Amino acid sequence: MQNRRKWWQRLFTNSADTAPYQAADRCQCLPPVDSRDCGLVDAIMGGWFQNASDELFRGFPISADDVVLDLGCGYGGATLFSARRGAHVIFTDSEAAKVEALRDSVRDTPAREAQGIVSNSLPLPLEDKVASKIIALEVLEHVDQPLAILQELVRVGRPGAQYFISVPDQRSEELQRAVAPALHFEPPNHINVFSREAFAELVECAGLIIETREYYGFYWTLWMMLFWGTKQAEGVEFSGATHDHLDGPFHPLLNSWASLWHATISLPGGDKLREALDQCLPKTQIILARKPLADG
């Protein structure tokens, strides 16, 4: 009991032992970091956008010889990375405005050919065995028939084609379910939540061979939790697609989290901490896979 009393006295007393830390708190504050800038730094540390090795993600290189299909291209980050390597890029989305905007952006790259397609992907208006690299990032959680979509991607892939597929991790999704509006788990948003086992089974059932599995995005898991919390506090009513609400400007709390995370991963050894937390509570689960060289 006496030891506990001493602990409480120490906690609430401005003792000589705590004074240096209080002085540091007054004199030092984290430099402001934009949420998106922190996200890019975090992504590169996590294996994305490896310019030196021309890898969109570690283990997924792009060259000028590739024909790259980006399904559900959105704002085009994967397509543009590939186009800057001189690849033939094929990008599809169900939203015509996004395809048209990306078509304009690709014109300023050395892509040897570019095709923009507005499609719901069932079926894809492409011949069999056309693509050497197939990308489907954060797509399958939105669609009614994820297996049919993957089977279409297998159809249009060449023998030996490499696939880069990602979906939200179940742990992050279930955590968000407690604070996100119900429509985040309704069309056109996340109507499928995949366990890690179900995701792997889906990919294999489509006929692909899994090469590697990765987990990424602890930063974004907490960011989204804070995003929902601040919007709820502000009384914001959501409608439509979640991603249309993520353009900013962002609540100061979100950029405060970005500043804290940026400082954390910038520490000596910060990458090990980031990697451990990405494994524990990732926003995204990733599979790199191959189409067999021969049918059957």
- Express each pLDDT in 102-147 by its tens digit: 999 999 999 999 999 999 999 999 999 999 999 999 999 999 999 9
Q: What is the average pLDDT across 195-205? A: 98
pLDDT tens-digit readout, 150-168: 999 999 999 999 999 999 9
DSSP states of 38-70:
HHHHHHHHTTEEEGGGTEEETTEE--TT-EEEE
Helix or strand holding residue 166 (H, E) = strand 157-168
pTM for the model: 0.89
Q: Which amino acid is at 107?
A: R
pLDDT band of residue 247 (cuts 50, 70, 90) is confident
Q: What is the pLDDT of residue 28?
A: 57
Q: What is the average pLDDT across 219-239? A: 94
**Measured distance between the N- and C-terminal CA atoms of the chain, rounded to whole angstroms:** 73
Return phi, psi of residue 136, to 5°. Answer: -140, 90
pLDDT tens-digit readout, 258-278: 999 999 999 999 999 999 999
Round to whole Å and give the CA distance between 99 and 188. Answer: 18
Does the pLDDT at position 13 exceed 50? no
Domains in the chain, start-ordered, CATH in brackets?
A: 32-290 (3.40.50.150)
Sequence-ordered list of residues with C-beta below 8 angstroms from that of 195, at least 6 positions apart, any chain = 170
Percent of the chain past pLDDT 70, that is, above it, reads 90
Does the pLDDT at position 14 exceed 80? no
Q: Using alpha carbons, select from 106, 98, 109, 104 the residue that is nearest to residue 74.
A: 98
Q: What is the average pLDDT across 45-54? A: 97
Q: Regarding predicted confidence, which is higher, 23 or 126? A: 126
CA distances from 30 to 24, 41, 69, 265, 269 (A): 12, 16, 41, 13, 19
Does the pLDDT at position 179 exceed 90? yes
pLDDT band of residue 18 (cuts 50, 70, 90) is very low
Round to whole Å and give the CA distance between 247 and 49. Answer: 21
Which of 2-6, 78-82, 83-87, 100-104 shows the lowest per-residue confidence on average (mean pLDDT)? 2-6
